[in-house]
Structure 1
Amino acid sequence: MRLIDELVARLGARDPMFTCGWGDRQALEAIVTGGLFVADDAAAPAVKRTPAQSRFAGARALDLAFPSPATSLPPEVSTATVRHLEPLRPREERAAVVVLAASREEGYGLREAIWSKLATDEGVDVFLLENAYYGSRRARGQRSASLPTVVDQLRMNLATLAEVDALLRHFARERFSRTAVTGFSMGGAMAALAGALLRRSFAVVPMAATIRPATIYTEGLLSRSVAFEALDVDGRVVDARGRLAEVLDVADLSRLAAPVCRAATVVVGCTVDGFVAREGTVALAEHWGAELRWVRGGHVSALFSGRRAMRRAVLDAIERLPTPVDQARHVRMASP
């Protein structure tokens, strides 16, 4: 299982990230100084729906699109796109889950394979967000899912948070009673950040995530895919790794609050993960006071062997959410 992670890391290193360096230095410093945040006065987005080509017994697939609330994206990237798996037999108390993409995961195929059963068998609406700069949202001239600059990475992360917030507002307008955000690897890190930064009551289930995401890029197997030679600091490549860690520590979860509804948080780790250190996953669960579950497998193999356990974790977290009336009370108590 660990060998599979090693092989995937070796293949990923053939197409490294950040080959064009840091990107716009002024924008970089603005993000690092300002931190990650989401505007709390946004309105629910105007969502366009069209039938999708995917077919499922027990659910219909729709493609959703809405203007991204993120203002720093280039025009060709600025429309958020989402695959919605709508159950033909939804729950009486309607439930929705947003599933976020892993690093360099383009399209919906893998997530559909893992999560469609929530729609077809459990009556939960599933929403798969396509990340900015991935798949149909690539920037002009972008040749692959390996982002050319660090600023692109941070803009993607900020856009993901803003778009998750927009989807949660959309769910409220559509009268969903229970909502959740989950994801695997980078998707898990973004789900955790959404739980920490969006001060409303929803279930949070980060998978294969760590308390300090910077370590994934500077210490783990994914660091082999980082073009550190392009991130020199005043001509000294030796300082690039440390500087990248400082920049990405804007997402250090130990500096942020726990989700509003701690009872509805479940942290899921992989037993032999080659990309995410076990102690980082444990630290995240301890920081939140959340339940910690383990699925057997490595970072890659768990996506195949651990699917049922992953879906179960999301269902259990959704069931632990308070009633809509109690959810409003949770939000008021969690507000500063």
Structure 2
Amino acid sequence: MGVSRLDKFYRRLLLTKLFIGGWGTPEDLKRIFEFRKIIGNRERCRSLVPENYPVYINKTEDHSDCQIHNGFFFSPLEHLVPGILPPEAVKARFQFIVPKRWKKNRSVCIHLAGTGDHFFWRRRTLMARPMIKEAGMASLLLENPYYGYRKPKDQLRSSLKNVSDLFVMGGALILESTVLLHWLEREGYWPLGMTGISMGGYMSSLAVTNWPKPIPLIPCLSWSTASSVFTTGVLSKAVNWTELEKQYAINSVYEEEIIKLLEYCGADSFKMNTEVVVGSEDGGVGDRIDHLLSSHVNTDGMNLDSLRKSLRAENTLHEKKTDTTKYCRPSLHKESISFMKGVMDECTHMANFSVPVDTSLIIVVQAKEDAYIPRTGVLSLQEIWPGCEVRYLNGGHISAYLFKQNVFRQAIYDAFNRFCLKYPNQH
């Protein structure tokens, strides 16, 4: 199956680069990977978010068919990994769109934002308001960290500055979704489910892996890992590889320490093939010292001080040459791509997280010719979540997003109906 020409064309219209700041600091990556080990295991993080975590409603708008409640709470990630979130993102904001007339149950679906989906209007217009009319179903729209009111001042539009920002976003949304699910349960809503389109599909999938109960999940236009998105998909062309390669070459911590923290080792895991530059054709520092001593041993007027200066100069030149050689090594781009796959799989691969409690409640909607979310070379969701359903649409990522919102909504209704039939007495 080929890839969509529209996807490729649309990508060319986007001129901004991703990850212009690089990988993120090694210290932040280490903290994120350590925290991933906790939230990747549902049992280990049961007590991370209290069931009575405070949530506030600060404004309510009345409409003909619904009420729109604007609310907020403070991200649990700030308490658990202090300082990892930018200050603007600590306060989590949401809109809760509730029908004035329920058709059956008081169903609520949480929608997480896709790439570029700032604030709430897009999800409210394309998904939430139609769901009020079609199914009498409420929607809760959570604003992603790094988007809308939660966007850092130095971030350009939707382009995350660092690779680590994506992982921070994921960790925050897992915990924040748990806060909202607990709150909705306390308020008496049932059944509850989660969905998202593109990046929102990934994030909703991650969130559901952490929820300790059966729950409908409808990830649309997403797959099992984000690694292929940034290494082989059309978005890989938007990645600032120049800066990433430079940082990877100059700072040995990424290659020597961060790699050791990567635990994902599935059948599609990355394989590092780093060529370590041991020395140059001219020999090592020791060889150059021998050369200096032999060349200067019979030189008239050569004293110990001048010899030491010459040695220091040669050492400096060698170090500079080694750094340059390391930065310009032919394998650097390949190594950087492999490292990207490694860190992405560590924090976004569904096989690195707990399996949702009931995979039969998962309906995945995928585009057959999606150039943004490559499925080749990575584990399928059916392999990771046996029992889930995958529905395929003709066309690519962009055409599905523009013209298939009704298909996404139908998948939501089907998953919720499936839940009600299977767990009629759970609430």
TM beyond 0.5: yes
Look at both structures and tell me which one has the larger radius of gyration over its CA atoms. 2
Q: Does the Cα contact within 8 Å between 2:232 and 2:374 map onto a contact in 1?
A: no
For 1:71-150, list aligned pairs within 5 A: 71=78, 72-115=84-127, 116-150=129-163
For 1:165-314, list aligned pairs within 5 A: 165-232=178-245, 233-235=248-250, 236=327, 237-238=332-333, 239-250=335-346, 251-279=348-376, 283-288=380-385, 289-314=387-412
> What is the CA–CA distance in structure 2 between the aligned matches of 1:280 and 1:104, rounded to whole Å?
27
Q: How high is the TM-score relative to the length of structure 2?
A: 0.71
Residue identity matched to 1:40:
R
User: Which residue pairs with 2:6 in the alignment?
Assistant: 4
> What is the CA–CA distance in structure 2 between the aligned matches of 1:148 and 1:293, rounded to whole Å?
34
Deviation at 1:160, TM superposition (A): 1.0
Deviation at 1:121, TM superposition (A): 2.9
> What is the CA–CA distance in structure 2 between the aligned matches of 1:58 and 1:284, rounded to whole Å?
37
Choose from 70, 73, 78 the match for 1:66. 73
Superposed CA RMSD in Å reads 2.2
> What is the CA–CA distance in structure 2 between the aligned matches of 1:281 and 1:305, rounded to whole Å?
27
Deviation at 1:111, TM superposition (A): 1.2
Deviation at 1:66, TM superposition (A): 1.0
Choose from 53, 57, 81 the match for 1:49. 57
Unaligned runs of 5+ in 1: 328-336
Q: How high is the TM-score relative to the length of structure 1?
A: 0.89
Q: Does the Cα contact within 8 Å between 2:7 and 2:397 map onto a contact in 1?
A: yes
Deviation at 1:260, TM superposition (A): 0.8
> What is the CA–CA distance in structure 1 between the aligned matches of 2:23 and 2:154, rounded to whole Å?
17
> What is the CA–CA distance in structure 2 between the aligned matches of 1:100 and 1:249, rounded to whole Å?
20
Which one has a larger percent strand, Structure 1 or Structure 2?
A: 1
Q: Does the Cα contact within 8 Å between 1:296 and 1:306 map onto a contact in 2?
A: no
User: Which residue pairs with 2:175 in the alignment?
Assistant: 162
Quickly say closer, same or farther: Cα 1:297–1:137, change in 2 above 3 A: same
| DSSP 3-state at the match of 1:63 | strand
Quickly say closer, same or farther: Cα 1:160–1:318, change in 2 above 3 A: same
**Counterpart check, 1:18 vs 2:14:** no
> What is the CA–CA distance in structure 1 between the aligned matches of 2:38 and 2:142, rounded to whole Å?
19
| DSSP 3-state at the match of 1:85 | strand
Unaligned runs of 5+ in 2: 40-44, 79-83, 251-326
Q: Does the Cα contact within 8 Å between 1:51 and 1:62 map onto a contact in 2?
A: yes
> What is the CA–CA distance in structure 2 between the aligned matches of 1:249 and 1:23, rounded to whole Å?
16
Quickly say closer, same or farther: Cα 1:282–1:304, change in 2 above 3 A: farther
